[in-house]
Structure 1
Amino acid sequence: MTPYSNRPSTRLLFVSRRLINEAIQPLFVDPYAGCFVPPHTRMGLENPLKHYCIATKFIDDKLLRTVSHLDGLKQVVILSDGMDTRPYRLNWPSSTIIFDISPDRVFQNAAQKLQGVGAKVPRNCLYLHIPLESTDIQQTLRSKGFNGNRPSIWAIQGLPVMTLARFEEILLTVSGMARKGSIFLGELPAWLAETEFGSKSSTEEWMDNLFMSNGFKASMISYNDVAKSLGKVVKPGEHENILFVSEQLQLSEDQMEARRAEIQNVEEDGDEHSV
Protein backbone atom coordinates (compact mmCIF):
# COMPACT_ATOMS: atom_id res chain seq x y z
CA MET A 1 0.00 0.00 0.00
CA THR A 2 1.33 3.44 -0.89
CA PRO A 3 2.35 5.40 2.22
CA TYR A 4 0.00 8.27 2.91
CA SER A 5 2.74 10.89 2.54
CA ASN A 6 3.62 9.64 -0.95
CA ARG A 7 0.12 9.48 -2.41
CA PRO A 8 -0.23 11.76 -5.46
CA SER A 9 -3.33 13.42 -4.03
CA THR A 10 -1.50 14.16 -0.77
CA ARG A 11 1.55 15.55 -2.55
CA LEU A 12 -0.70 17.74 -4.68
CA LEU A 13 -2.48 18.99 -1.57
CA PHE A 14 0.87 19.76 0.07
CA VAL A 15 2.12 21.69 -2.98
CA SER A 16 -1.18 23.55 -3.27
CA ARG A 17 -1.03 24.58 0.38
CA ARG A 18 2.55 25.74 -0.03
CA LEU A 19 1.64 27.88 -3.04
CA ILE A 20 -1.35 29.32 -1.21
CA ASN A 21 0.81 30.13 1.83
CA GLU A 22 3.33 31.93 -0.38
CA ALA A 23 0.51 33.89 -1.98
CA ILE A 24 -1.12 34.93 1.31
CA GLN A 25 2.17 35.65 3.12
CA PRO A 26 3.57 38.72 1.36
CA LEU A 27 7.02 40.09 2.08
CA PHE A 28 5.44 43.11 3.75
CA VAL A 29 2.00 44.63 4.17
CA ASP A 30 1.35 48.21 3.08
CA PRO A 31 -2.20 49.20 4.04
CA TYR A 32 -1.74 52.71 2.64
CA ALA A 33 -0.22 52.25 -0.82
CA GLY A 34 -3.69 51.77 -2.29
CA CYS A 35 -4.52 55.45 -1.86
CA PHE A 36 -1.92 56.26 -4.54
CA VAL A 37 -3.32 53.78 -7.07
CA PRO A 38 -6.20 54.75 -9.38
CA PRO A 39 -9.37 52.64 -8.94
CA HIS A 40 -9.65 49.40 -10.92
CA THR A 41 -5.90 49.26 -11.55
CA ARG A 42 -4.74 45.68 -12.14
CA MET A 43 -1.44 44.81 -10.49
CA GLY A 44 0.70 42.11 -12.09
CA LEU A 45 3.56 40.11 -10.60
CA GLU A 46 6.25 41.18 -13.03
CA ASN A 47 9.86 40.54 -12.15
CA PRO A 48 10.83 44.23 -11.65
CA LEU A 49 8.07 44.50 -9.06
CA LYS A 50 9.40 41.44 -7.26
CA HIS A 51 12.87 43.00 -7.12
CA TYR A 52 11.36 46.21 -5.73
CA CYS A 53 9.50 44.23 -3.06
CA ILE A 54 12.65 42.29 -2.15
CA ALA A 55 14.57 45.56 -1.79
CA THR A 56 11.78 47.17 0.22
CA LYS A 57 11.66 44.27 2.67
CA PHE A 58 15.46 44.33 3.03
CA ILE A 59 15.50 48.08 3.71
CA ASP A 60 12.56 47.84 6.14
CA ASP A 61 14.27 45.14 8.20
CA LYS A 62 17.63 46.91 8.24
CA LEU A 63 16.04 50.18 9.34
CA LEU A 64 14.12 48.63 12.23
CA ARG A 65 17.02 46.44 13.41
CA THR A 66 19.41 49.39 13.42
CA VAL A 67 17.02 51.82 15.08
CA SER A 68 16.14 49.33 17.82
CA HIS A 69 19.80 49.28 18.90
CA LEU A 70 20.13 53.07 19.18
CA ASP A 71 19.87 54.60 22.63
CA GLY A 72 17.80 57.70 23.27
CA LEU A 73 16.71 59.74 20.27
CA LYS A 74 16.63 57.60 17.12
CA GLN A 75 17.26 59.52 13.90
CA VAL A 76 16.04 58.11 10.57
CA VAL A 77 16.45 59.95 7.27
CA ILE A 78 14.50 58.69 4.25
CA LEU A 79 15.28 59.98 0.76
CA SER A 80 12.23 59.13 -1.35
CA ASP A 81 9.90 60.12 -4.16
CA GLY A 82 7.55 61.75 -1.64
CA MET A 83 5.16 58.78 -1.36
CA ASP A 84 7.10 56.56 1.05
CA THR A 85 4.73 54.97 3.57
CA ARG A 86 7.43 53.69 5.94
CA PRO A 87 6.83 56.43 8.54
CA TYR A 88 3.25 55.13 8.88
CA ARG A 89 3.38 51.38 8.31
CA LEU A 90 6.55 50.39 10.20
CA ASN A 91 6.48 49.75 13.95
CA TRP A 92 8.99 52.41 14.95
CA PRO A 93 10.21 52.34 18.55
CA SER A 94 9.43 55.24 20.86
CA SER A 95 11.53 58.41 20.44
CA THR A 96 12.12 57.87 16.72
CA ILE A 97 12.34 61.03 14.64
CA ILE A 98 11.90 60.46 10.91
CA PHE A 99 13.11 63.02 8.38
CA ASP A 100 11.75 62.70 4.84
CA ILE A 101 13.75 64.32 2.03
CA SER A 102 11.65 64.34 -1.13
CA PRO A 103 10.06 66.59 -3.79
CA ASP A 104 7.80 68.97 -1.87
CA ARG A 105 4.84 69.02 -4.27
CA VAL A 106 4.64 65.23 -4.42
CA PHE A 107 5.01 64.92 -0.65
CA GLN A 108 2.24 67.42 0.11
CA ASN A 109 -0.15 65.70 -2.30
CA ALA A 110 0.70 62.27 -0.86
CA ALA A 111 0.31 63.54 2.71
CA GLN A 112 -3.26 64.63 1.96
CA LYS A 113 -4.14 61.23 0.53
CA LEU A 114 -2.56 59.40 3.45
CA GLN A 115 -4.40 61.58 5.93
CA GLY A 116 -7.60 60.78 4.07
CA VAL A 117 -7.17 57.04 4.72
CA GLY A 118 -6.27 57.53 8.38
CA ALA A 119 -2.50 57.00 8.19
CA LYS A 120 -0.74 58.00 11.42
CA VAL A 121 2.84 57.89 12.66
CA PRO A 122 3.30 55.67 15.76
CA ARG A 123 2.89 57.37 19.15
CA ASN A 124 5.90 59.14 20.63
CA CYS A 125 7.48 59.42 17.17
CA LEU A 126 7.99 62.53 15.06
CA TYR A 127 7.79 62.85 11.27
CA LEU A 128 9.33 65.88 9.52
CA HIS A 129 9.59 66.79 5.85
CA ILE A 130 12.58 68.47 4.18
CA PRO A 131 11.90 69.63 0.60
CA LEU A 132 14.38 68.21 -1.89
CA GLU A 133 14.36 71.66 -3.49
CA SER A 134 15.85 73.30 -0.37
CA THR A 135 18.86 75.44 -1.21
CA ASP A 136 20.72 74.03 1.81
CA ILE A 137 19.42 70.60 2.86
CA GLN A 138 22.00 70.27 5.64
CA GLN A 139 20.95 73.53 7.26
CA THR A 140 17.27 72.67 6.85
CA LEU A 141 17.87 69.32 8.56
CA ARG A 142 19.62 71.06 11.46
CA SER A 143 16.80 73.59 11.77
CA LYS A 144 14.35 70.68 12.05
CA GLY A 145 16.38 69.18 14.90
CA PHE A 146 18.78 66.74 13.24
CA ASN A 147 21.92 66.27 15.34
CA GLY A 148 25.09 65.09 13.60
CA ASN A 149 26.63 64.23 16.96
CA ARG A 150 24.10 61.41 17.37
CA PRO A 151 23.89 58.14 15.38
CA SER A 152 21.53 58.01 12.43
CA ILE A 153 20.48 55.68 9.64
CA TRP A 154 19.77 56.87 6.10
CA ALA A 155 17.78 55.08 3.41
CA ILE A 156 17.27 55.95 -0.25
CA GLN A 157 14.61 54.37 -2.46
CA GLY A 158 12.64 56.04 -5.22
CA LEU A 159 14.35 59.43 -4.94
CA PRO A 160 14.38 60.98 -8.43
CA VAL A 161 18.08 61.12 -9.32
CA MET A 162 18.47 62.57 -12.80
CA THR A 163 22.27 62.75 -13.06
CA LEU A 164 25.36 61.27 -11.46
CA ALA A 165 26.41 64.76 -10.37
CA ARG A 166 23.11 65.15 -8.51
CA PHE A 167 23.63 61.88 -6.64
CA GLU A 168 27.17 62.96 -5.72
CA GLU A 169 25.64 66.09 -4.17
CA ILE A 170 23.26 63.92 -2.17
CA LEU A 171 26.08 61.63 -1.06
CA LEU A 172 28.09 64.68 0.01
CA THR A 173 25.13 65.85 2.09
CA VAL A 174 24.80 62.49 3.81
CA SER A 175 28.55 62.36 4.38
CA GLY A 176 28.52 65.77 6.06
CA MET A 177 25.57 65.00 8.32
CA ALA A 178 25.95 61.32 9.31
CA ARG A 179 27.94 60.60 12.46
CA LYS A 180 30.81 58.13 12.23
CA GLY A 181 29.44 54.60 12.28
CA SER A 182 26.06 55.59 10.84
CA ILE A 183 24.47 53.47 8.09
CA PHE A 184 23.40 54.56 4.60
CA LEU A 185 21.56 51.97 2.51
CA GLY A 186 19.01 51.58 -0.24
CA GLU A 187 18.56 51.35 -3.99
CA LEU A 188 20.27 53.32 -6.74
CA PRO A 189 19.58 53.37 -10.49
CA ALA A 190 22.02 50.97 -12.16
CA TRP A 191 22.78 53.48 -14.91
CA LEU A 192 24.62 55.64 -12.36
CA ALA A 193 27.53 53.21 -12.65
CA GLU A 194 27.96 54.26 -16.29
CA THR A 195 29.04 50.77 -17.30
CA GLU A 196 27.84 49.67 -20.72
CA PHE A 197 26.99 46.12 -19.69
CA GLY A 198 26.71 46.70 -15.94
CA SER A 199 29.11 43.91 -15.03
CA LYS A 200 29.19 43.21 -11.31
CA SER A 201 32.93 43.72 -10.91
CA SER A 202 32.99 47.10 -12.64
CA THR A 203 29.89 48.29 -10.77
CA GLU A 204 31.37 47.24 -7.44
CA GLU A 205 34.59 49.07 -8.24
CA TRP A 206 32.65 52.19 -9.22
CA MET A 207 30.61 52.09 -6.01
CA ASP A 208 33.64 51.47 -3.85
CA ASN A 209 35.50 54.45 -5.34
CA LEU A 210 32.51 56.81 -5.21
CA PHE A 211 31.46 56.01 -1.66
CA MET A 212 34.99 55.79 -0.27
CA SER A 213 35.78 59.25 -1.65
CA ASN A 214 32.92 60.52 0.53
CA GLY A 215 33.93 58.62 3.66
CA PHE A 216 31.74 55.54 3.27
CA LYS A 217 32.60 51.87 2.92
CA ALA A 218 29.93 50.38 0.65
CA SER A 219 28.88 46.84 -0.24
CA MET A 220 26.57 45.70 -3.01
CA ILE A 221 23.80 43.38 -1.89
CA SER A 222 22.55 40.55 -4.11
CA TYR A 223 18.80 40.57 -4.74
CA ASN A 224 18.99 36.80 -5.20
CA ASP A 225 20.67 36.29 -1.82
CA VAL A 226 18.09 38.45 -0.08
CA ALA A 227 15.28 36.58 -1.83
CA LYS A 228 16.69 33.22 -0.73
CA SER A 229 16.95 34.39 2.87
CA LEU A 230 13.25 35.26 2.68
CA GLY A 231 12.29 31.97 1.09
CA LYS A 232 11.56 33.61 -2.25
CA VAL A 233 12.93 33.32 -5.77
CA VAL A 234 13.67 36.06 -8.30
CA LYS A 235 14.79 35.59 -11.86
CA PRO A 236 18.56 36.04 -12.31
CA GLY A 237 19.85 38.64 -14.72
CA GLU A 238 20.39 42.33 -15.05
CA HIS A 239 18.53 44.60 -12.63
CA GLU A 240 17.45 48.20 -13.05
CA ASN A 241 18.72 49.10 -9.59
CA ILE A 242 21.67 48.50 -7.28
CA LEU A 243 20.96 47.40 -3.71
CA PHE A 244 23.64 48.51 -1.24
CA VAL A 245 24.64 49.07 2.40
CA SER A 246 27.38 51.44 3.51
CA GLU A 247 28.94 52.65 6.77
CA GLN A 248 30.21 56.13 7.56
CA LEU A 249 33.94 56.00 8.35
CA GLN A 250 34.61 59.65 9.08
CA LEU A 251 33.37 62.29 11.52
CA SER A 252 30.32 64.35 10.64
CA GLU A 253 30.60 68.12 10.42
CA ASP A 254 28.88 68.43 13.82
CA GLN A 255 31.36 65.98 15.34
CA MET A 256 34.29 67.90 13.90
CA GLU A 257 32.86 71.15 15.22
CA ALA A 258 32.46 69.60 18.68
CA ARG A 259 36.02 68.29 18.50
CA ARG A 260 37.35 71.75 17.58
CA ALA A 261 35.41 73.27 20.49
CA GLU A 262 36.91 70.73 22.92
CA ILE A 263 40.44 71.48 21.69
CA GLN A 264 39.82 75.21 21.99
CA ASN A 265 38.55 74.82 25.56
CA VAL A 266 41.62 72.77 26.49
CA GLU A 267 43.92 75.40 25.00
CA GLU A 268 42.09 78.21 26.80
CA ASP A 269 42.29 76.34 30.10
CA GLY A 270 46.00 75.84 29.52
CA ASP A 271 46.51 79.56 28.87
CA GLU A 272 44.66 80.47 32.10
CA HIS A 273 46.83 78.13 34.17
CA SER A 274 50.01 79.48 32.62
CA VAL A 275 49.22 83.08 33.60
Structure 2
Amino acid sequence: MTDPLFIDPYAGCLLSLDVNHCDMEEYAISITGSSPSYYRIATKYIDDKLLNFVSRSDDLRQIVLLTDGMDTRPLRMNWPRSSILYDVSPERIFKVTSQRFKGVGAKVSRGCLLIHIPVESSNLLESFYRNGFNGGRSSIWALQTAKKERLEKLFMTYGFRVTVVDYEEVAKEMHFSLDAPLETSNSVLFVAEQLRLSDAQMEIWRTHFERIEEEGDEEGFEEL
Protein backbone atom coordinates (compact mmCIF):
# COMPACT_ATOMS: atom_id res chain seq x y z
CA MET A 1 0.00 0.00 0.00
CA THR A 2 1.38 3.42 -0.98
CA ASP A 3 1.55 6.31 1.46
CA PRO A 4 -1.31 8.84 1.21
CA LEU A 5 -0.59 12.16 -0.50
CA PHE A 6 -1.91 13.98 2.55
CA ILE A 7 -3.74 13.21 5.78
CA ASP A 8 -6.98 14.97 6.64
CA PRO A 9 -8.00 14.11 10.22
CA TYR A 10 -11.10 16.31 10.11
CA ALA A 11 -12.83 15.44 6.84
CA GLY A 12 -14.68 12.56 8.48
CA CYS A 13 -16.64 14.81 10.82
CA LEU A 14 -18.26 16.48 7.82
CA LEU A 15 -19.75 13.24 6.53
CA SER A 16 -23.17 11.94 7.48
CA LEU A 17 -23.45 8.38 8.70
CA ASP A 18 -25.16 7.35 5.46
CA VAL A 19 -22.36 8.67 3.23
CA ASN A 20 -20.26 5.86 1.83
CA HIS A 21 -17.04 5.64 -0.17
CA CYS A 22 -18.87 5.70 -3.51
CA ASP A 23 -20.65 8.91 -2.57
CA MET A 24 -17.30 10.54 -1.80
CA GLU A 25 -15.93 9.43 -5.16
CA GLU A 26 -18.95 10.88 -6.96
CA TYR A 27 -18.52 14.18 -5.10
CA ALA A 28 -14.90 14.47 -6.19
CA ILE A 29 -15.89 13.78 -9.80
CA SER A 30 -18.72 16.33 -9.71
CA ILE A 31 -16.48 19.22 -8.60
CA THR A 32 -13.43 18.43 -10.72
CA GLY A 33 -14.91 16.92 -13.86
CA SER A 34 -12.40 14.08 -13.56
CA SER A 35 -11.44 11.15 -11.37
CA PRO A 36 -10.81 11.52 -7.60
CA SER A 37 -7.06 11.06 -8.10
CA TYR A 38 -6.87 14.46 -9.80
CA TYR A 39 -8.67 16.05 -6.86
CA ARG A 40 -6.16 14.50 -4.46
CA ILE A 41 -3.23 15.75 -6.54
CA ALA A 42 -4.71 19.25 -6.72
CA THR A 43 -5.23 19.29 -2.95
CA LYS A 44 -1.67 18.18 -2.26
CA TYR A 45 -0.25 20.59 -4.84
CA ILE A 46 -2.08 23.58 -3.35
CA ASP A 47 -1.12 22.54 0.20
CA ASP A 48 2.56 22.39 -0.75
CA LYS A 49 2.50 25.67 -2.66
CA LEU A 50 0.86 27.54 0.20
CA LEU A 51 3.32 26.29 2.81
CA ASN A 52 6.26 26.85 0.48
CA PHE A 53 5.35 30.48 -0.15
CA VAL A 54 4.60 31.40 3.47
CA SER A 55 7.72 29.65 4.78
CA ARG A 56 9.98 31.66 2.45
CA SER A 57 8.77 35.09 3.55
CA ASP A 58 8.15 36.48 7.02
CA ASP A 59 6.01 39.20 5.44
CA LEU A 60 3.56 36.78 3.85
CA ARG A 61 1.11 36.14 6.68
CA GLN A 62 -2.23 37.00 5.06
CA ILE A 63 -3.71 33.83 3.57
CA VAL A 64 -7.03 34.00 1.76
CA LEU A 65 -8.85 30.74 1.02
CA LEU A 66 -11.86 30.85 -1.28
CA THR A 67 -13.77 27.73 -0.28
CA ASP A 68 -17.12 25.98 -0.21
CA GLY A 69 -17.27 26.38 3.57
CA MET A 70 -15.93 22.88 4.27
CA ASP A 71 -12.21 23.41 3.72
CA THR A 72 -10.04 21.82 6.41
CA ARG A 73 -6.82 23.57 5.33
CA PRO A 74 -6.94 26.24 8.06
CA LEU A 75 -7.09 23.49 10.70
CA ARG A 76 -5.05 20.56 9.41
CA MET A 77 -2.05 22.51 8.09
CA ASN A 78 0.79 23.84 10.24
CA TRP A 79 0.80 27.60 9.60
CA PRO A 80 3.60 29.97 10.71
CA ARG A 81 2.90 32.04 13.81
CA SER A 82 1.07 35.35 13.24
CA SER A 83 -0.66 33.99 10.14
CA ILE A 84 -4.15 35.37 9.53
CA LEU A 85 -6.34 33.04 7.49
CA TYR A 86 -9.42 34.41 5.76
CA ASP A 87 -11.99 31.79 4.75
CA VAL A 88 -14.28 33.25 2.08
CA SER A 89 -17.30 30.96 1.85
CA PRO A 90 -21.09 30.68 2.25
CA GLU A 91 -22.01 31.73 5.78
CA ARG A 92 -24.65 29.04 6.39
CA ILE A 93 -22.30 26.20 5.46
CA PHE A 94 -19.37 27.67 7.39
CA LYS A 95 -21.42 27.91 10.59
CA VAL A 96 -22.42 24.24 10.40
CA THR A 97 -18.92 22.97 9.63
CA SER A 98 -17.39 25.19 12.33
CA GLN A 99 -19.56 23.49 14.92
CA ARG A 100 -18.51 20.07 13.68
CA PHE A 101 -14.84 21.02 13.70
CA LYS A 102 -15.23 22.35 17.23
CA GLY A 103 -16.85 19.07 18.24
CA VAL A 104 -13.74 17.08 17.28
CA GLY A 105 -11.32 19.58 18.81
CA ALA A 106 -10.00 21.03 15.55
CA LYS A 107 -8.11 24.31 16.02
CA VAL A 108 -6.02 26.64 13.91
CA SER A 109 -2.26 26.61 14.55
CA ARG A 110 -1.05 28.29 17.75
CA GLY A 111 -0.51 32.02 17.34
CA CYS A 112 -2.68 32.17 14.20
CA LEU A 113 -6.13 33.57 13.55
CA LEU A 114 -8.96 32.24 11.39
CA ILE A 115 -11.50 34.80 10.16
CA HIS A 116 -14.60 34.03 8.12
CA ILE A 117 -15.66 36.38 5.33
CA PRO A 118 -19.19 35.55 4.10
CA VAL A 119 -19.17 35.29 0.33
CA GLU A 120 -22.67 36.82 0.39
CA SER A 121 -21.29 40.13 1.71
CA SER A 122 -22.58 43.09 -0.27
CA ASN A 123 -19.08 44.57 -0.22
CA LEU A 124 -16.36 41.94 0.08
CA LEU A 125 -13.53 44.47 0.05
CA GLU A 126 -15.06 46.36 2.97
CA SER A 127 -15.54 43.08 4.84
CA PHE A 128 -11.85 42.27 4.39
CA TYR A 129 -10.69 45.66 5.64
CA ARG A 130 -13.12 45.59 8.55
CA ASN A 131 -11.57 42.30 9.63
CA GLY A 132 -8.00 43.57 9.56
CA PHE A 133 -6.90 42.79 6.01
CA ASN A 134 -4.08 45.11 4.95
CA GLY A 135 -3.96 45.87 1.24
CA GLY A 136 -0.49 47.31 1.67
CA ARG A 137 0.95 43.96 2.71
CA SER A 138 1.56 40.86 0.63
CA SER A 139 -1.07 38.15 0.63
CA ILE A 140 -1.53 34.74 -0.94
CA TRP A 141 -4.86 33.50 -2.27
CA ALA A 142 -5.92 29.95 -3.02
CA LEU A 143 -8.98 28.39 -4.58
CA GLN A 144 -9.82 24.90 -5.75
CA THR A 145 -12.43 23.63 -8.23
CA ALA A 146 -13.17 26.99 -9.89
CA LYS A 147 -14.51 27.05 -13.45
CA LYS A 148 -11.81 27.56 -16.08
CA GLU A 149 -13.86 30.23 -17.91
CA ARG A 150 -14.14 32.33 -14.74
CA LEU A 151 -10.42 32.03 -14.10
CA GLU A 152 -9.55 33.25 -17.59
CA LYS A 153 -11.77 36.31 -17.10
CA LEU A 154 -10.18 36.97 -13.69
CA PHE A 155 -6.65 36.72 -15.08
CA MET A 156 -7.32 39.08 -17.98
CA THR A 157 -9.20 41.63 -15.86
CA TYR A 158 -6.71 42.00 -13.02
CA GLY A 159 -3.38 41.56 -14.76
CA PHE A 160 -2.12 38.18 -13.55
CA ARG A 161 0.90 36.32 -14.87
CA VAL A 162 -0.15 32.68 -15.02
CA THR A 163 1.87 29.49 -15.11
CA VAL A 164 -0.19 26.43 -16.00
CA VAL A 165 1.05 23.21 -14.42
CA ASP A 166 0.64 19.78 -15.97
CA TYR A 167 -1.18 17.23 -13.82
CA GLU A 168 0.92 14.35 -15.11
CA GLU A 169 4.17 16.12 -14.26
CA VAL A 170 2.96 16.85 -10.74
CA ALA A 171 1.81 13.25 -10.30
CA LYS A 172 5.21 12.03 -11.47
CA GLU A 173 7.01 14.22 -8.93
CA MET A 174 4.71 12.88 -6.21
CA HIS A 175 5.25 9.27 -7.38
CA PHE A 176 1.49 8.99 -7.74
CA SER A 177 -0.37 7.09 -10.46
CA LEU A 178 -3.35 8.67 -12.17
CA ASP A 179 -6.25 6.29 -12.63
CA ALA A 180 -7.98 7.90 -15.62
CA PRO A 181 -7.45 10.44 -18.43
CA LEU A 182 -8.08 14.05 -17.52
CA GLU A 183 -10.83 16.16 -19.06
CA THR A 184 -8.56 19.13 -19.70
CA SER A 185 -11.48 21.44 -20.44
CA ASN A 186 -12.76 21.09 -16.88
CA SER A 187 -9.68 21.07 -14.69
CA VAL A 188 -6.37 22.91 -14.62
CA LEU A 189 -3.55 23.49 -12.13
CA PHE A 190 -1.93 26.90 -12.11
CA VAL A 191 0.12 29.45 -10.19
CA ALA A 192 -0.81 33.10 -10.76
CA GLU A 193 1.06 36.24 -9.71
CA GLN A 194 -0.60 39.63 -9.82
CA LEU A 195 1.69 42.04 -11.63
CA ARG A 196 0.02 45.22 -10.41
CA LEU A 197 1.63 46.95 -7.45
CA SER A 198 -0.08 47.18 -4.08
CA ASP A 199 -1.15 50.53 -2.61
CA ALA A 200 1.92 50.56 -0.36
CA GLN A 201 4.26 49.76 -3.26
CA MET A 202 2.69 52.50 -5.36
CA GLU A 203 3.17 55.00 -2.52
CA ILE A 204 6.86 54.05 -2.21
CA TRP A 205 7.30 54.45 -5.97
CA ARG A 206 5.46 57.80 -5.95
CA THR A 207 7.59 59.13 -3.06
CA HIS A 208 10.79 57.99 -4.76
CA PHE A 209 9.76 59.59 -8.05
CA GLU A 210 8.86 62.89 -6.36
CA ARG A 211 12.21 62.94 -4.56
CA ILE A 212 14.04 62.48 -7.86
CA GLU A 213 12.07 65.36 -9.36
CA GLU A 214 12.86 67.62 -6.38
CA GLU A 215 16.57 66.79 -6.58
CA GLY A 216 16.50 67.62 -10.26
CA ASP A 217 14.86 70.99 -9.57
CA GLU A 218 17.43 71.82 -6.88
CA GLU A 219 20.41 70.95 -9.05
CA GLY A 220 18.97 72.75 -12.05
CA PHE A 221 20.04 72.30 -15.64
CA GLU A 222 22.85 73.88 -17.57
CA GLU A 223 21.66 76.50 -19.98
CA LEU A 224 22.35 75.77 -23.61
1:66 to 53, 59, 79: 53
Q: Mean alpha-carbon deviation: is it higher for 34-43 or for 135-144?
A: 34-43
Q: Does 1:248 align with 2:194?
A: yes
Counterpart contact for 2:59–2:137, Cα < 8 Å: no
Residue 238 of structure 1 corresponds to 183
Matched, 1:132 2:76: no
Determine if contact 1:212/1:218 at 8 Å carries over to the other structure.
no
Aligned equivalent of 2:83, options 96, 110, 130: 96
Q: Which residue of 2 aligns with 1:49?
A: 36
Q: CA deviation at 1:103?
A: 0.7
Task: State the alpha-carbon separation in 2 of the partners of residues 73 and 94 from structure 1.
Answer: 11
Q: Find the aligned partners of 2:100 and 2:93 in 1 and give their Cα distance.
A: 11
Which of 114, 117, 121 does residue 101 from structure 2 map onto?
114
Q: How big is the alpha-carbon RMSD for the aligned residues of Structure 1 and Structure 2?
A: 2.6
Which ranges of structure 1 fall in alignment gaps of 5 or more residues?
1-19, 158-186, 194-205
Q: Aligned in 2, Cα 1:105/1:254: closer, same or farther, shift over 3 Å?
A: farther
Q: Within 1, Cα distance between the matches of 2:139 and 2:64?
A: 7
Residue 197 of structure 2 aligns with an amino acid whose one-letter code is L
- In the alignment, structure 2 segments of 5+ residues that lack a partner are 27-33, 219-224
Q: Could you tell me whether the CA contact under 8 Å between 1:76 and 1:98 is conserved in 2?
A: yes
- Rg larger in structure: 1
Quote the offset at 1:210 in angstroms: 5.2
SS at match of 1:142: helix
Contact kept, 8 Å, 1:70 with 1:151, in 2: the verdict is: no
Spell out, residue by residue over 1:48-73, the C-alpha distance to the aligned partner (whole angstroms, 9 max, x if none). Answer: 21111100000000000001112146
- 2:204 and 2:99 map into 1 onto residues whose CA distance is 40
1:36 aligns to 2:23 (yes or no): no
Q: 1:218 maps to which residue?
A: 162
Give a deviation string over 1:48-103, Cα, whole Å, max 9, x none.
21111100000000000001112146110000001110010001111111011111
Shift of 1:30: 0.5
Superposition deviation, residue 245 in structure 1: 0.9
TM-score normalised by structure 2 residue count:
0.81
Deviations 1:25-60 (A, max 9, x none): 111000000111111532146762111110000000
How many residue pairs match? The answer is: 204
> What is the Cα deviation at residue 225 of structure 1?
1.3
- Once residues 124 and 199 of structure 2 are traced to their aligned partners in structure 1, the CA distance between those partners, rounded to angstroms, is 14
Distance 1:151 1:210, change over 3 A: closer
* Identical columns (%): 46
CA distance in 2, matches of 1:259, 1:133: 35
